[in-house]
Amino acid sequence: MKKEYLIYKLSEEMKEATRIDTELFSKFDVKRGLRNEDGTGVLVGLTRIGNVVGYERVPGGGLKPIPGKLFYRGYDVEDISHAIIKEKRFGFEEVAYLLLSGRLPDKEELLSFRELINDNMPLEQKTKMNIIELEGNNIMNILSRSVLEMYRFDANADDTSRDNLMRQSIELISKFPTIIAYAYNMLRHATFGRSLHIRHPQEKLSIAENFLYMLKKDYTELDARTLDLLLILQAEHGGGNNSTFTVRVTSSTGTDTYSAIAAGIGSLKGPLHGGANIQVADMFQHLKENIKDWTSVDEIDTYYTRMLNKEVYNKTGLIYGIGHAVYTISDPRALLLKELARDLAREKGRESEFAFLELLEERAIATFGRVKNNGKTVSSNIDFYSGFVYEMIGLPQEIFTPLFAMARIVGWCAHRNEELTFDGKRIIRPAYKNVLDDLAYIPIKKR
């Protein structure tokens, strides 16, 4: 039997072997996607790290949409972000300290923490050379392999004591910007024939500033402060998001930090999770090209209606960047990002595009409600603006999802540390019900 035919034959048989009657899920009360019937997540754990709020329960078991809130260790992210924006300073390191330790640092502690981050930013020479030698155009894969490479240079890689977990957390947070910047510069060199630049991280620069320096050297202060805000807003989002839950599931086995974080990277890479901002950026470009009058509500509504009816664009029936699993009336991250995005658009001379994006946001929500007519309250999420912001800063699409990982590594580490150090730790093992009848084994001579 030819190998190609065997693969085809196995594929056809797999089609039948993976078929499950969807009615069985209701029959056995299966929580598909760990979701309840009302769309809320199944409660599988407790945490003291992040809290994502988008609705409240009312008497009788229903859900009432409310303006979205995001809390880091009990602090409202709006309050954190507004203080940092008002003072025109960089706050990602402060948020990292908060999420890792559980409390806000004072000035001396924050200064020492920044120095610790900067000290750990440089890569091992072998890791650096490994990135340079890697082929391929997916930086998430390079990031994952580089994280696993770090295991080789850690004398206590498998130690899950509290002190060692914190040390590893700080090293990962510090090294992600360097790995991503070097990986992209290698990609542009190998793929586009551009000069290869390996710039070393600089002392006294924030993570956001150092990343932009290593990636492209030239940037404005507003570029760096806007990137810093994006890192803050994406640092943590509760224990139930797919990549964080993946890190917690993997960590619950007692595996090493690098294996758990590599698993989280693999989860985030998926287009249904971390790749959404790329889809929004692509959709925005499509709409700029296909809507003639960027101020016409009627033209936008008509085109959105056709999108929802799977007639135009990629014919999925989706408007990317609209809707969220938890947030209903508003995504606080999107509202905060818009504040600096407007200033950035003004600095870059792209105010007309920003105004168009705002109108697209407004009409997407209205058109979704009219066409779907399902009573569901939706809002834009952070992805609706993040792709445009990245583009204005001058960042390529190849690093959109890696930047998400650069922020979320903080939350991943905080949740891994909580999973491994709290008293009630237990390996995470949900159940799957087998719906296939038992069969009698058939000897090979009789098949």
Using one digit for the tens of pLDDT, what is the confidence trace for 190-236? 887 888 888 999 999 999 999 999 999 999 999 999 999 999 999 99
Selection from 78, 416, 107 nearest residue 264 by Cα: 416
Nearest residue to 231 via CA among 216, 212, 250:
212
Take residue 302 and report the two structure tokens written for it: 């008509």
Q: Give yes or no: 197 in active site.
A: no
The pLDDT tens digits of the residues spanning 252-273 come to 999 999 999 999 999 999 988 9
* Tokens representing residue 193 in the block: 């024939």
Phi, psi of 161 (to 5 degrees): -70, 160
Pick the CATH number of 274-391 from 1.10.260.40, 1.10.230.10, 3.40.50.720, 3.90.1150.10: 1.10.230.10
DSSP 368-409: HHHHH-S-----B-THHHHHHHHHHHT--GGGHHHHHHHHHH
Domains 66-268+395-419 and 274-391 share a fold: no
CB 256 within 8 A of CB 153: no
Coil, helix or strand at residue 425:
coil
- Euclidean distance between CA atoms 378 and 360, whole angstroms: 14
Closest by Cα among 366, 357, 352 to 298: 366
The dihedral over CA atoms of 327, 333, 339, 345, expressed in degrees to the nearest 10, equals -100
Percentage of the chain lying above the pLDDT 90 cut = 85
C-alpha 382, offset from chain centre: 10
Per domain, the residue ranges of the chain are 66-268+395-419, 274-391
- For residue 21, which phi and psi values (nearest 5 degrees)? -60, 120
Q: pLDDT value at position 126?
A: 79
Calculated CA dihedral for residues 329, 236, 115, 419, nearest 10 degrees: 160
Q: Find the radius of gyration of the CA atoms of the chain.
A: 24
Topology adopted by domain 66-268+395-419: Citrate Synthase; domain 1 (1.10.580)
> Within the chain, which residues score under 70 in pLDDT?
134-136
Which of 223, 228, 237, 324 is labelled catalytic?
324
Instruction: Map tokens 């936008």 to a residue.
Output: 300
pTM: 0.94
Q: Mind listing the pLDDT tens digit for each residue in 391-415?
A: 999 999 999 999 999 999 999 999 9
Contact 98, 75 (CB under 8 A): yes
CA distance 406 to 212: 13
Is residue 383 annotated as part of the catalytic site, yes or no?
A: yes
Active-site annotation holder among 383, 423, 437, 438: 383
Number of other CB atoms surrounding residue 254 within 10 Å: 13
Amino acid (1-letter code) at residue 161? S
- The neighbour count for residue 10, using CB atoms within 10 Å, is 11
CA distance 187 to 131: 10
